[in-house]
Chain A
Amino acid sequence: MITQNFIAKIEGHGELIVDFKNERARLAVHEGERLFEGILVGRTAQEAYWITPRICGVCPVAHNLASLAAIENAYGIEVNETTRLLRLLMKCGQNLQSHILHLFFLALPDYLGVDSGFELEKKNPNVFKNALILKDIADKIIYTVGGRNVHPTTTTMGGFNKIPSKNDLQKLLKFLEKTAKTAKWAAELSRKLEYPALNTDLELVAKKNDKIISNKNETISVKNYKENISEEVKNYSTAKFGKFNNREIMVGALARIALSKNSKKIAKKYGLNFNNPFHNIPAQLIEILKYHNLAVKITKKLLIIEMNSEIIKPSLNPLLEGIGAIEAPRGGLYHEIHLNEKGVITYANIITPTVQNLSSIEKSANDLLCQTKNKTEEERKKLLIMLIRAYDPCLSCSTH
């Protein structure tokens, strides 16, 4: 008899273990260990950004960009403005694509009264139609710049193998302009859904330039990511559990908004609550509009400037040790790569956003159990699974 114990509709294999008597919950990650940090050692610098996207098919562009940044940091390469803008555009596409997949196919069915995202076609055709429009524009952005919507083909150390033509970008801009109202609709949808109540002492952390910032007034340098973000091994999980200076933190869309300049204004407009992790869902809906707007802005800029396809070569005496950090869809992603003189990788370390979120997921799950004493076990279990989905865990990323 084939059985199924894994939580449905999350990326990867995880099991929820609840001790209702003591009001404790655990998220056991059951992904097999692929040992990417070992796979990378002995491979070349150029293979790093080919291999690491395969950590996760939901956020491959984020891994590609983080590895490129780490390798370029190691080689002392400063990419040109065209490359910088194109990569930023790819990142917009990535964050849009990942949010849309998570929201419409994994998390939102809970809020819209269906099981599968595809059921929306009959039960809520408007939502379904808009979800496909948004998925399509996210894919188009990544195809135009990255060559493929999953696992990019055009990026390379120091620049791009191939950059899109002005004609390609013009076409993309037309699609972006046509879908602007759908992106607005997504942000508006965030106000129309009802999210479960949960009050936690939530610490939110996001990467900004070369700093990692917490909403509890602590800022560290990206260079010190390894010292400040610790990872704990637990016997029930193949993923490690991360902490920020020994505290549970949440990273991702809600954290990015909380730490942005306009956080108060956005929170007021959309009714966001930075102490309720369920609000990562409206935060992602709001970010769809943000990344869509940003994609329009960058595409317009690329159409004005004279694009330069030059691939920048390594500097003369490079350090050969580099860190690449990026705000991936689910939060801060850190790749560190060391090379020898031949360009062969001698050390690799990767800390993913989900690793950082796992400790917070369990803490919030315990809080949820304490705050839902009047509900049945069945109801509480359902809420716990919705809570886990709200964090948008990527368990493939967490067990790389």
Chain B
Amino acid sequence: MKNNTPKIAIYDFTDCEGCEVKLISLQEKLLLLAEKIDIVNWRLGQEHFESGPYDITIIEGAPIKQDEIELLKELRENSGILIALGACAALGGIPAIMPEAERYIWYEKIYGAGYKPKGVDAKPLSAYVKIDFSIHGCPIDENEFLRVIEEILAGKKPSYRPYSVCFDCKVKENDCRIINKKPCMGPITQGGCGAICISGGSPCYGCFGIREEANIAALRKIFKNITDKETTEKYFSMFHSRNESFK
């Protein structure tokens, strides 16, 4: 047993677990990090479990079921620092596309009339508790994870990237989607992702979170000039359907 090393718990609510797969992608770097911390709970990776309190709790996924919501509140009380890992935890993400009011229709269509649903609604962690920091992405960038955790371990307050995805795009020498009249959430989205989706030829739906001081109204204006209303809504709701400032 390590003494005086921060106790870290990794939890996952309902999601795809792709962000945890990204953590495993860190390989040796994760081992180096593990020497400085004590992972006392990681259900996906180990049987070993300690019931808390934890110095740092990292939560992946959206709390969809009532027991997940209760556990989240309990974890908040038992954690020093609470971190949202990935789009589902930080934003609601893909599961949050399903509106609460429509869930019952789909329960019946998918499970049949007699089914007793377990899910309530898919919302970000911040809908229920205070989050100290969000590591954004769908999936996260594993090196961003490392940066944030190391800053916390060094006693610093981690900061968000002060620039947008546009900066990453320039570094990658990508063609600008907006200049080419293709919708893009990049201008209002926090950088640090390396513009990986746009570099692969896919759209940017803003999974890295809205950056500080983003000019959302200006981007809406640009969308108006290059695409229709339906497409605009699809872009603004892929990861951000629960973002009140978008409504």
In the bound complex, do residue B202 and residue A153 qualify as a contact, i.e. CB atoms below 8 Å apart?
yes
Check if A316 is an interface residue, CB within 8 A of chain B: no
**How far is B47's CA from A105's CA once the two chains are assembled, in angstroms?**
12
Check if A54 is an interface residue, CB within 8 A of chain B: yes
In the bound complex, do residue B102 and residue A8 qualify as a contact, i.e. CB atoms below 8 Å apart?
no
8 A Cβ contacts from A125-153 to B: 132, 135-136, 139, 146-153
Check if B201 is an interface residue, CB within 8 A of chain A: yes
Contacts of B31 in A (CB 8 A): 118, 121
**How far is B119's CA from A6's CA once the two chains are assembled, in angstroms?**
17
Write the nearest CB–CB distance from B118 to chain A, whole angstroms: 5
Contacts of B45 in A (CB 8 A): 9, 105, 116-118
Check if B220 is an interface residue, CB within 8 A of chain A: no
Q: Which of B19, B43, B196, B238 contacts A148 (CB 8 A)?
A: B196
In the bound complex, do residue B196 and residue A38 qualify as a contact, i.e. CB atoms below 8 Å apart?
no
**How far is B49's CA from A106's CA once the two chains are assembled, in angstroms?**
15
Contacts of B14 in A (CB 8 A): 31-32, 34, 399
Check if A188 is an interface residue, CB within 8 A of chain B: no
In the bound complex, do residue A39 and residue B65 qualify as a contact, i.e. CB atoms below 8 Å apart?
no
Check if A168 is an interface residue, CB within 8 A of chain B: no
Check if A329 is an interface residue, CB within 8 A of chain B: no
The contact string, 1 if C-beta is below 8 Å from chain B, for chain A 210-228, is 0000000000000000000
Size of chain B's interface in residues, with CB distance under 8 A? 71
In the bound complex, do residue B118 and residue A154 qualify as a contact, i.e. CB atoms below 8 Å apart?
no
8 A Cβ contacts from B60-81 to A: 62-65, 68, 71, 74-75, 78
In the bound complex, do residue B197 and residue A135 qualify as a contact, i.e. CB atoms below 8 Å apart?
no
In the bound complex, do residue B199 and residue A147 qualify as a contact, i.e. CB atoms below 8 Å apart?
yes
Contacts of A54 in B (CB 8 A): 16, 18, 93-94, 138
8 A Cβ contacts from A177-220 to B: none
The contact string, 1 if C-beta is below 8 Å from chain A, for chain B 193-235, is 0001101111101000000000000000000000000000010
With contacts A2-B71, A57-B21, A135-B24 taken as known, whether A47 is within 8 angstroms of B199 at the C-beta atoms is no
Check if A377 is an interface residue, CB within 8 A of chain B: no
Which of B103-111, B125-133, B160-168 is the contact stretch? B103-111
Write the nearest CB–CB distance from A226 to chain B, whole angstroms: 14
Check if B95 is an interface residue, CB within 8 A of chain A: yes
Q: Which of B21, B98, B105 contacts A39 (CB 8 A)?
A: B98
Write the nearest CB–CB distance from B67 to chain A, whole angstroms: 8
Contacts of A149 in B (CB 8 A): 21-22, 25
8 A Cβ contacts from A1-43 to B: 1-4, 6, 8-9, 11-13, 30-35, 37-39, 43
**How far is B46's CA from A233's CA once the two chains are assembled, in angstroms?**
30
The contact string, 1 if C-beta is below 8 Å from chain B, for chain A 105-123, is 1100000000111100100
Q: Which of B13, B22, B42 contacts A32 (CB 8 A)?
A: B13
Check if A235 is an interface residue, CB within 8 A of chain B: yes
8 A Cβ contacts from B6-36 to A: 12-22, 24-25, 27-28, 30-31, 34
With contacts A118-B45, A156-B201 taken as known, whether A55 is within 8 angstroms of B16 at the C-beta atoms is yes
With contacts A33-B118, A115-B48, A118-B31 taken as known, whether A396 is within 8 angstroms of B199 at the C-beta atoms is no
Contacts of B74 in A (CB 8 A): 2
**How far is B15's CA from A53's CA once the two chains are assembled, in angstroms?**
11
Q: Which residue of B lies closest to A146 (CB)?
A: B200
Check if B176 is an interface residue, CB within 8 A of chain A: no
Q: Which of A3, A106, A116, A152 contacts B48 (CB 8 A)?
A: A116
**How far is B118's CA from A8's CA once the two chains are assembled, in angstroms?**
21
Q: Which of A139, A150, A396 contacts B139 (CB 8 A)?
A: A150
Check if A298 is an interface residue, CB within 8 A of chain B: no
Contacts of B196 in A (CB 8 A): 147-148, 153
Contacts of A396 in B (CB 8 A): 15-17
Contacts of B201 in A (CB 8 A): 147, 153-154, 156, 160-162
Contacts of B44 in A (CB 8 A): 8-9, 11, 106
Write the nearest CB–CB distance from A110 to chain B, whole angstroms: 10
In the bound complex, do residue B17 and residue A57 qualify as a contact, i.e. CB atoms below 8 Å apart?
yes
Which of B24, B78, B202, B238 has the largest count of A CB atoms less than 10 A from its CB?
Answer: B202
In the bound complex, do residue A32 and residue B106 qualify as a contact, i.e. CB atoms below 8 Å apart?
no
Contacts of B93 in A (CB 8 A): 54
**How far is B234's CA from A4's CA once the two chains are assembled, in angstroms?**
38
In the bound complex, do residue A57 and residue B16 qualify as a contact, i.e. CB atoms below 8 Å apart?
yes
**How far is B103's CA from A13's CA once the two chains are assembled, in angstroms?**
21
In the bound complex, do residue A233 and residue B122 qualify as a contact, i.e. CB atoms below 8 Å apart?
no
In the bound complex, do residue A35 and residue B106 qualify as a contact, i.e. CB atoms below 8 Å apart?
yes
In the bound complex, do residue A161 and residue B202 qualify as a contact, i.e. CB atoms below 8 Å apart?
yes
Check if B116 is an interface residue, CB within 8 A of chain A: yes
Contacts of B51 in A (CB 8 A): 1-4
**How far is B122's CA from A32's CA once the two chains are assembled, in angstroms?**
9
**How far is B21's CA from A109's CA once the two chains are assembled, in angstroms?**
17
Check if A393 is an interface residue, CB within 8 A of chain B: no
In the bound complex, do residue B116 and residue A150 qualify as a contact, i.e. CB atoms below 8 Å apart?
no
8 A Cβ contacts from A237-265 to B: 238, 240
Contacts of A33 in B (CB 8 A): 64, 103, 107, 110-111, 117-119
Check if A270 is an interface residue, CB within 8 A of chain B: no
**How far is B22's CA from A106's CA once the two chains are assembled, in angstroms?**
15
For the complex with contacts A32-B63, A57-B19, 15 further pairs of A-B residues with Cβ separation under 8 Å are A2-B75, A3-B51, A32-B13, A32-B65, A34-B95, A35-B119, A38-B105, A44-B234, A56-B16, A149-B22, A153-B197, A154-B200, A154-B201, A396-B15, A396-B16
4 closest Cβ pairs, A-B complex: A57-B18, A161-B201, A153-B200, A32-B64
Name 9 interchain pairs, CB-CB below 8 A, sorted by A. Answer: A2-B52, A32-B13, A32-B119, A34-B95, A35-B107, A38-B102, A60-B18, A148-B139, A233-B114
Residues in chain A within 8 A of chain B (CB atoms)? 1-4, 6, 8-9, 11-13, 30-35, 37-39, 43-44, 47, 50-51, 53-58, 60, 101, 105-106, 115-118, 121, 132, 135-136, 139, 146-154, 156, 160-162, 233, 235, 238, 240, 396, 399
